[in-house]
Structure 1
Amino acid sequence: MQENRAHRTVAMVLFDNVLLLDVTGPMDAFAIANRFLPEDQRYRLLTVACEPGAIRGSCGLQVVADLPLAALPGAVDLLLVPGGPGAYDITLPELEHWLGQAARQARRFGAICTGVFLLGRAGLLGGYRCTTHWNYVERLARMFPEAQVETEQIYVMDRNLITSGGITAGIDLALAVVAEDHGKALALEVAKVLLVARHRQGGQTPYGPLLAAVPRDDSPIARVQAYIVDHIDQAYTVQKMADMVAMSGRNFARTFQREVGITPLQYLQNARIDQARKLLEGSELALKVVAARCGFGSDRHMRKVFCERIGMTPAQYRAQFGGV
């Protein structure tokens, strides 16, 4: 979409308890893009809210919207909804009703982080691919089964809907819009000004654990899960896991997948990766030692698994997330 439309209007919705970085990150990216654009191609940036007056963000700072909802021009180029506790902890009936109409009139609409929950409650996610912060993707999928929730991408563009992962991913979303509107070269210039990568390695996957909290109850499957995590350096087969709880291999595998949602071997690999990530983040152990302690067998195999599952090598992961 390289059409030159005068004054592309980007409208950002504000509400109490909004995460302000979801607002300012994308808006600053568009504002910086304006520095490079001729006047007749610049973005027109607006904020809208239900009521006039100050709105308090989740960090305590206050902002004031430019316009009330009803005063927003009928057909904006891009309507964005930020996230924050105000987007997912409570319902906002007036805003959600308005969104249902305003988003359908906009050329494009989208959400940063948990703002997608407001779009969902407004009935706008049906049949679309979308994403949100890695910590909320399962909740999003449960609440809105009519949507196709992507779990790993930093942002997802599907027709006229664009959604992003958490917080700073709103900048990635804005850069993607700039690239679509004005080309990749301009998006790269904006990224350089912001000191961010034009494309992040690994998507959202490196930022969150692959496994939820390990259950510690006395059910057979939970006992196996806990044993694997506590003895991650050992070698396992599905039959060995089944023998721990006196089940046949076939019945164990079927029961495990039904209760956990993934196969026993997928669980094992995720547990090995999560433990390796902890060691890479918090120690200076050699990669071959990390691989041995996590049951990978060799650092070469660990590298292969990391590249396939995390989108970067163990060395790259340590360089990005290591804290020692």
Structure 2
Amino acid sequence: MKTIAMVLFPDFLLLDMAGPMEVFSIANRYLAPQDAYQLSTIGTEPGALRASNGVSVQPDLYLEQATAAYDLLLIPGGPGAYNEPCPPLQAWLPDATRRAKRYGSICTGAFVLGFAGLLDGYRVTTHWHYTERLIKGFPGAQVETDQIYVLDRNLITSGGVTAGIDLALAVVAEDHGKKVAQDVAKVLLVVMKRQGGQAQFSPLMAAVAPQETAVTRVQHYVLDHLDETFTVERMAALVSMSPRHFSRLFARELNMTPMAFLQNARVDFARNLLETTELPLKTVAYRSGFGSVRHMRFLFSEKLGLNPTQYREQFS
């Protein structure tokens, strides 16, 4: 029997807890009693804890009582995970994770692990909306921005919210084989392996900075003329700079090359057309500046893990 514990704190995200726990609970239907998962919840304080949606959950134990060596110790996300550290949880986690065979986080629960100093030297992920914040907050971690979940040695982390289900299915497959995990996925009406990663849900390009600079002037011009042909030389000429100096300045301000910006902007524009219109792929490709459906298909597959037709079917 494997023991799995979910650590709860005020303002946690209920689905981050419930999704993975349901996976393990349903897996028990297909397992012999001696192989079943034993599930429990641990609270940061005695009494019921209110989730971010207002639902209250009564944990089985609170921190001082949770001294077992769990097979898997999980931390959900939610506003209570990333808004500010929880000192009792920070103090408890290092010893608890050393005792556990494996530990991990769902969604923004990675911040809880980060506050406790448990991410340094590991490959990790979190919800796409918070990856930049995680990178800046915990520079010792190697943050993967497009993965649904990441397993690095004894640490497993997942992307946003329902990615916790993917994480749990991966654990079940490793513990008891792919067939059991597939049976659980069918009960939950989810797929065992998603097409693409988190990038398909997030914009590739951040909003243009409000202050006016040479780089933002070029960004605005490019965004207004995506159907035109651009080179680094042409973008540099818009602000009367040499291509070399412009490229260095652009990379310093945006942490990407001018051509990477152009590609991301075109993919994002095409995504919006695919989501909101019934335009043929050829028209979408032309308006987005790809020149051909073939080129658009290549960049979609490279950046999103889906081709344009798959993207439209999934998000429109």
TM-score (norm 2): 0.99
Where does residue 58 of structure 1 map in the other structure?
Answer: 52
Match of 2:69 in 1: 75
1:220 is aligned to 214
Q: Are 1:13 and 1:47, in contact at CA under 8 Å, matched by a contact in 2?
A: yes
Give the Cα–Cα distance (whole angstroms) in 2 for the partners of residues 223 and 233 of structure 1.
Answer: 17
1:186 maps to 180
- Equivalent residue, structure 2, for 1:297: 291
3-state SS, counterpart of residue 11 of structure 2? coil
Counterpart position of 2:131: 137
- How much does 1:216 deviate? 4.2
One-letter amino acid of the structure 2 residue matched with residue 63 of structure 1: V
Q: How does 1:143-182 map to 2 (within 5 A)?
A: 143-182=137-176
Work out which of the residue numbers 83, 86, 109 in structure 2 matches 1:89.
Answer: 83
Counterparts of 1:24 and 1:164 in 2: how far apart (Å)?
14
* Matches of 2:62 and 2:249, distance apart in 1: 54
Gap regions ≥5 residues in structure 1: 1-6
Aligned to 2:2: 8
| Poorly superposed stretches of 4+, deviation over 2 Å | 215-218
- Give 2:42's aligned residue: 48
Query: What corresponds to 2:226 in structure 1?
Result: 232
Identity of aligned residues (%): 59
In the alignment, what sits opposite 2:28? 34
Give the counterpart of 1:307 among 297, 301, 304.
301
Q: Which runs of 5+ in 2 are unaligned?
A: none
Deviation for aligned residue 1:68: 1.2
> Cα deviations across residues 6-62 of structure 1 (Å, max 9, x unaligned)?
x21100001110000000000000000000000000000000012221111000111
Is this contact kept in 2: 1:84–1:114, CA < 8 A? yes
CA deviation profile, 1:60-106 (whole Å, cap 9, x unmatched): 11110001112224210000000000000122000111011101110
Match of 1:271 in 2: 265
Find the aligned partners of 1:72 and 1:177 in 2 and give their Cα distance.
22
Which secondary structure state, in structure 2, belongs to the residue aligned with residue 44 of structure 1? Answer: strand
User: Does the aligned pair in 1 maintain the 2:77–2:110 contact within 8 Å?
Assistant: yes
- Give the number of equivalent residue pairs: 316
1:105 aligns with 2:99: yes
1:245 to 213, 217, 239: 239
Determine if contact 2:20/2:167 at 8 Å carries over to the other structure.
Answer: yes
The two structures, once aligned, show a CA RMSD in angstroms of 0.8
Give distance in 1, aligned partners of 2:231 and 2:71: 54
